[in-house]
Structure 1
């Protein structure tokens, strides 16, 4: 991956390896990039400082992790991502501020297993996550309040669309 300075148009390498490094997302302070990479043989999520330094792998699972989305909340740094670790794609959130005993950030699945979920996008305040999810052949857009108590089925997911056509790649209006 390269960073292009718009003034002098000279690219600066952010990563330099033969693996796929892509799907970058900026941290709210602009000092870090999160990205997906297959440098370990499976898709994982990494963060790297723009001031230089080594990329840090923040997911460690043999399944495919991809599509990171950094929360804009500076006080509660989190990254949403998509993973196939439970048999099909689901949305997970990794809390970068909480580090359990193993030294890895805490992560949790936020979409139900019966759905195939993808394309997470954070609200401006970092408290709501929207994503596309498919249950019976077509996808709809759903929202979840990340800090709310789960509903009776274990998830506080609520539909934002309802119809017979696919809806994907949701984005918030600024």
Structure 2
């Protein structure tokens, strides 16, 4: 009987090892708010439909976008990178533009993600000062943030210019500035 039990334990051990060698698929995060994960820094879009937040649902610091009307998370391809810490999200009127702090190797920069083009862009790449707490205007043209340029925290306004595509509800006429 002792021999049979030993063979059984060896067989179970081998099966466990083989199972562990198979590719591991990361579990999908829950599709609801208020989960067991650490969700923080919420930001609402101007139209009240979109909620951006910082979460650790995928075992890393990410910005997630939740559709309050559809009650589901929306994919943001090209936004969350494994080696980048993202924080302080802010949304434009319809959630097209998402402004946030992106820190690579401890250096924070103000960045913007355009959901229409699925591209992220660093706005303060050559900026030599510390930045924090960015906010975007409803139409997506202006971004404000705190800067330590003068040795204290001051406010800066970044105008993205009159040629950007504004975040406006469909069919809304835009007056020239």
Q: TM-score, normalised by structure 2?
A: 0.63
Aligned partner of 1:133 in structure 2 is 147
Aligned partner of 1:120 in structure 2 is 134
The CA deviation string for residues 64-83 of structure 1, in whole angstroms up to 9 with x for no partner, is 101100012x4x81010011
In structure 2, do the counterparts of structure 1 residues 57 and 39 end up closer, same or farther at CA, with 3 Å as the change threshold? farther
Q: Tell me, yes or no, if the aligned pair for 2:32 and 2:72 is still in contact at 8 Å.
A: no
Which deviates more, 28-37 or 122-131? 122-131
Q: Secondary structure at the match of 2:48?
A: coil
> 2:110 & 2:158 partners in 1: Cα distance?
11
> 2:140 & 2:162 partners in 1: Cα distance?
13
> Which structure's residues are more often strand, by fraction?
1
> Which structure's residues are more often helix, by fraction?
2
**Unmatched tracts of structure 2, length 5 or more:** 1-30, 164-177
> How many residues in Structure 1 have an aligned counterpart in Structure 2?
129
Q: TM-score, normalised by structure 1?
A: 0.64
1:31-50 residue pairs with structure 2 within 5 A? 31-50=49-68
Residue 109 in 1 paired to residue 130 in 2?
A: no
Stretches of 4+ aligned residues off by more than 6 angstroms? none
The root-mean-square deviation of aligned C-alpha atoms, in Å, is 2.5
Aligned partner of 2:80 in structure 1 is 60
